[in-house]
Amino acid sequence: DAGVIQSPRHEVTEMGQEVTLRCKPISGHDYLFWYRQTMMRGLELLIYFNNNVPIDDSGMPEDRFSAKMPNASFSTLKIQPSEPRDSAVYFCASSLFSGNQPQHFGDGTRLSIL
């Protein structure tokens, strides 16, 4: 079975540019999560969706960050305008609704803002 698929795997861009990260969750999973990982702060939850609806975006650092889930098989995380301090690895994860089902992670997007 295909796991969580993220694209691009690497992104290097100049500050001020718009960045769009993409995620395809595991088919049938009801929840989708966006995380940011840095050495200093570890894994931080940015936002999560349930059945394509954003439930909690309290982890989104600033208004420059936005996320959408137009359908059950696709989500985007957008940064506009990007800043050097946004450089990090961004992970998408998905899980089933029922019980205590664990989250399954994609391989991440390594983002570098110059």
By CB under 8 A, is residue 48 in contact with other proteins? yes
Provide the CB-side half-sphere exposure for 45 (13 A, CA): 13
- Show the binding pattern over residues 8-47: x = contacts other proteins (CB under 8 A), - = does not: -----------------------x---------xxxxx--
Minimum distance, C-beta of residue 10 to other proteins, in the bound complex (Å): 9
Verify binding: residue 68, other proteins, rule CB under 8 A: no
**CA distance linking residue 38 with residue 15, whole number of Å:** 18
Task: With H, G, I as helix, E, B as strand and everything else as coil, classify residue 84.
Answer: helix
Q: Shortest Cβ distance from residue 16 to other proteins (Å)?
A: 27
Residue whose entry in the numeric block shows the structure tokens 């954003």: 54
Query: Does position 107 bind other proteins by CB under 8 A?
Result: yes
Peptide bond into 84 cis (omega under 30): no
d(CA 26, CA 72): 9
Residues 78-97 that bind other proteins (CB under 8 A): 91, 93, 95
70 binds other proteins (CB under 8 A): no
Is residue 101 within 8 Å of 86, Cβ to Cβ? no
In the complex, which residues of this chain contact other proteins (CB under 8 A)? 4, 31, 41-45, 48, 50, 55-56, 59, 91, 93, 95, 100-108, 110
